[in-house]
Structure 1
Amino acid sequence: MKLPILIVILCAFAQQLTANVSFGGPPKGLMIFVSLWNQTGDTPAQLSDRLNYICANHRYGSGQNQTIKSLLLSEIAYLDPNANVYENPPTANDILAWSYLEAILPFFPGGNGACNFEKVYIGTFGVGNGPDCSMYIDCITRPDYRDSMRLRQKKVVQEFANRVSQSSNPNVQWDWYISQEYSFEFTVYNNQTSNGYAEYISEQMIDFQNIRPDREYVWSPAWSYNPFVYADNDPTLQQIQRDFNRLFTQIQQSVKDSIPACQSNATCPFWLVPQDIVGSYSTCGRNITKETALRWMNLLRPHYPFQKMSLNVEQFKHN
């Protein structure tokens, strides 16, 4: 059966602030990623039933049934298939998946559902490749691509906020998710990629701040390769680490005047949650394991300027 949602479990480990990252014991809590990516399959009522099941069986449980604390809606709209990804200002007719979102609203903090998640994070969507560029590498370096995508996303989340205010759950709370993904090694192919992401993320954070201020911002990019191919002093690895730091330093400098909490790295509400890619790469032959994810965390964590960094543990395998 086709579903309108793609559910992935995120293990939200407590962040480690030391140079070496290690994980032990059960996760501190679980987060569900939900992507509203097509209009077939479950109805809004069936989606509500799934969330009621979580309330009854996993929301406040202990032991074997880990507590599911948070919900993340990574994509909340259906893209206009005929849109021009470079058009500014964009005229795309992207459609907010409101019937599904309205069914989920009671489970937001402050909602009237059977239970409430501690946090709900609202994303937008990605617009995909351009006719002559890859969305993850060179599209993002183009100002016209970045601006068109960001303005389309801003329009959708503003519509969401407006509809919430007129709904039967007008006082629900939510935080923000940056939907455009990335792989940290892509900077090796185009050293302007990290600059493009820094500009895009900074501007989107300011957009979100203007719609719903002083919230947390979550981003879940990834890595693509086995890190054990790099020695600690490998020049390629050093470039990845250097550009990783530069990316977040640029973000902090760009948003600090608009988001007061980001005037300091110690208080900026940015939560980096890299995907471990163990599940999504389970059939690609790259030998990605939990040990490779741990090595990437150990290689990158010392170069991350903000406080909150966890690991998105993919609890699935491809057939």
Structure 2
Amino acid sequence: MRVQLTKRQVETYQPQERPYEVRDAQVRGLILRVQPSGHKAWIVSWAHGKRRTIGPTTAIPLDLARAQATHAIAEYLQSGLPRIGQGKSHAPTLQDFIDQRYRAWATLELKRGHMYANLLEQVFAEHLDDPLTGFNTAWADQWLQLRLSTPTGKTKSPPTRSTAARDLACLRAALSKAVSWGLIATNPLFGMRIKGGQSRKVVRYLSLDEEARLRTVMAARDRHMIAARVSGNRWRALRQEDLYPAESLQVTPSMSCRIYARFFACNLAPLPSLHTDDGITGLGSAVTTQSHISCSTQRPHAHKVVRLTPKRRRYACK
């Protein structure tokens, strides 16, 4: 029978010789089952012959039972099987996996491996109690959207896409290790394409002010190095040692690498305007004498800043 259940009605139902059920008229699928022993329990049914027990009425009130039944019906309509109808997973939770297996292995086998374990605990703190099989690509997409829109406690701003992609890659690598250990059958994030941020390529022209500052700094450095070379030559002359070249340099086979490097170390100001017949070069082995270098003080072209790596740059003419 179907009844508009209330808290008082649930308490007044008495046991009979056989178990009987009372269906709630407000939430379709919610059932109150009364046993001959007097035990009362909530049951949710989402299809014919498909039902699961929510819990006893002494622990779960009517409002909570209705909410859980509504949620189970919604999951059934969306995915075909509510979570309450899934069998209990034997896969360990993410927290158990980190504490029992992954942290010790990562600390021993990976460089700064303990940092990866700490990262998993910090970034995925809300999912530490989820089984390893509970992660999938749909969950990862939702987590990524939430991650990119939630400010962090340290910077007070959302992380970049590259940071979020590295976090997901760390989780995927940990799940792959769980597969190799036989804890789960397959990696639920295997094959997922994690798109990072755009390349940080920087190609632009130096402004006149930037070029002037660059030349000023390099000229000041050269003057300091030249003064040091003059002082060093005085010291070396007193001891009858080979002097460093004063203004020009003629490379000979017997010249030491130290003298060669000393000369070019104090002649960096012309570097932004270097020209050779083969194109743009640095002060390397291809330049053997100063006559090969065109040290023009004019600004023939706007200079281009080309980022080779995040920590290294070279200045060249267009």
TM-score of the aligned structures, taking structure 2 as reference length: 0.19
Of Structure 1 and Structure 2, the greater helix share is in 2
Over alpha carbons, which structure has the higher Rg? 2
